[in-house]
Structure 1
């Protein structure tokens, strides 16, 4: 199939492109920079959608970039990088003379309210209690297409674990030095997914015609707490992992509103993802971490 991927040059996009090409699909990226097998966002808005069977949008500024202060300017960038690209692709799809067969958007589990007791599946309510949940609601609304000529899928991703990027990139050094440990109380849930499985779910969504609606992009072992994650990462590296990162430090680095994403978590179950027949390569945390740090 011919697959158009928005924001496909980043950490997730690179893994997805490798998988799609390995499965014989043809990939074109929508990017800010021109290049081979790419079109720019400007070209997309000017010329419309190129011929393709599936459109996937991964575009979005990294919310947890520790080098960016959480101020109004950065918040606007975070919103625009998600909403504008999604809106532009959805509009191009609805105007296309031959619309694609499927349209897949990756959002986040921030849609669900952090809780130490609630368990969320794809049908659980959410989306209206803070900046991030509102962002996911607006993001998913921007993707909505009129009619049903194109199959629509939303994958709400957890924290992505992979080699050379994602959440692990910032954690490895302190953990290798034996300075790792839980963040805040450590009791908060840590909904995670191996990058191979996130790419796998997206590939499953584009290849399997019965898949539609919301899928939770998290591993089935979603009862992991932050403290259990820290312990498992320490064990995988052969290092102790009991030095907690106080919540005041997290708030100082990321700002109070953004720190919530690290200090509070959600217990998210991929009920519909499993029901569609997706088979996880890394359902358990230990094996996922061993692969990531190998």
Structure 2
């Protein structure tokens, strides 16, 4: 199949592109910079959707960019980088003479309200209680297409774990030095997914015609807490992991709203993802971390 991937140059996009090409698909990336085999967002807006069987959008400013303060300007960038690219692709699909068979968007489990007791599946309510949940609601609304000529899938991703990028890249040094540990209380749930499985779910969604609607992009081991994650990462590295990062420090570094995503979590289960027939490569945390730090 011919697959168009918006924001395909990042951590997840690179993994997805490698998997798609390995499975014999043609991939065209949409990015800010013009390069061979890519088109720019400006070209997309000007010339419309190139001929493709599936469109995927992964674009979005890194929320935890350590170089950016959490202020109004950065919040605007976080919003616009997601909404504008999604609206642009959705509009291009709607106007295309031959629209793609499938349209896939990756959002986040921040849609669900943090809780120490609730369990969320794809049918659970949410999306209306803070900046990030509202962002996911607007983001998913921006992707909606009229009619049913194009199959629509939204994957709500957990924390993406993988070698050479994502969340682990920020954690690995303190843990290697034996300075790692739980964030805040450590009791909050930590919905995670190995990057191979996120790329796998996206590939499954574009290849299997009956897959549609919301899928939770998290590992089945959804009862993992932040403290258990810290312990498992320490074990994978052969290092102790008992020095907690106090909540006050997290809020000071990231700002109160961003800190919520680290200090509070959701127990999210991939009920519909499993029901579609997707088989996880890394359903358990220990094996996932061992592969990443090997």
Q: Would you say same fold, with TM above 0.5? A: yes
Paired position in structure 2 for 1:281: 281
Aligned residues: 294
Counterpart position of 1:75? 75
2:60 is paired with a residue whose SS is coil
Q: What is the CA distance between 1:66 and its match in structure 2?
A: 1.7
Segments of 4+ in structure 1 off by > 6 A?
A: none
Q: What residue is the counterpart of 2:142 in the other structure?
A: 142
Q: What is the rounded CA distance, in whole Å, between the counterparts of 2:66 and 2:31 in structure 1?
A: 24
Please name the residue that 2:45 is paired with.
45
Q: Name the residue aligned to 1:111.
A: 111
* Distance (Å, rounded) in 2 between the aligned partners of 1:288 and 1:226: 15
TM-score w.r.t. length of structure 1: 1.00
| CA deviation after TM superposition for structure 1 residue 121, in Å | 0.1
Q: Distance in 2 between matches of 1:32 and 1:230?
A: 36
Q: Which residue of 2 aligns with 1:32?
A: 32
Matched with 1:258 is 258
Deviation at residue 58 of structure 1 after TM alignment? 0.1
Between the aligned partners of 1:87 and 1:57, the Cα distance in structure 2 is: 10
Distance 1:67 1:262 in 2: 17
What corresponds to 2:270 in structure 1?
270
Partner of residue 221, structure 2: 221
User: Structure 2: where are the runs of 5+ without partners?
Assistant: none
Note the 1:143-222 alignment, pairs <5 A: 143-222=143-222
Report the counterpart of residue 55 of structure 1 in structure 2.
55
Write the deviation string for residues 192-251 of structure 1: whole angstroms up to 9, x where unpaired: 000000000000000000000000000000100000000000000000000000000000
Following superposition, the deviation at residue 65 of structure 1 comes to 1.1
Where 2:39 maps in the other structure, the secondary structure is strand
Q: Aligned equivalents of 1:214 and 1:36: distance in 2?
A: 33
**More deviation, 124-133/64-73:** 64-73
Q: Secondary structure at the match of 1:4?
A: strand
Superposed CA RMSD in Å reads 0.3
Aligned to 2:98: 98
Shift of 1:91: 0.1
**Secondary structure at the residue paired with 1:51?**
coil
Give the secondary structure class of the aligned counterpart of 2:116.
Answer: coil
Gapped runs of 5+ residues in structure 1?
A: none
The structural deviation recorded for 1:15 is 0.2
Deviation at 1:36, TM superposition (A): 1.1
d(CA) in 2 for partners of 1:30, 1:89 = 10
SS class of match (2:160)? strand
TM-score by length of 2: 1.00
- Rounded to whole Å, the distance in 1 between the matches of 2:198 and 2:52 is 22
In the alignment, the residues of structure 1 paired with residue 3 and residue 149 of structure 2 have an alpha-carbon distance, to the nearest angstrom, of 17
Q: Distance in 2 between matches of 1:211 and 1:187?
A: 34
How much does 1:49 deviate?
Answer: 0.2
* SS of alignment partner, residue 209 of structure 1: coil
Q: Please report how far the alpha carbon of residue 110 of structure 1 lies from its aligned counterpart in structure 2 after TM superposition.
A: 0.1
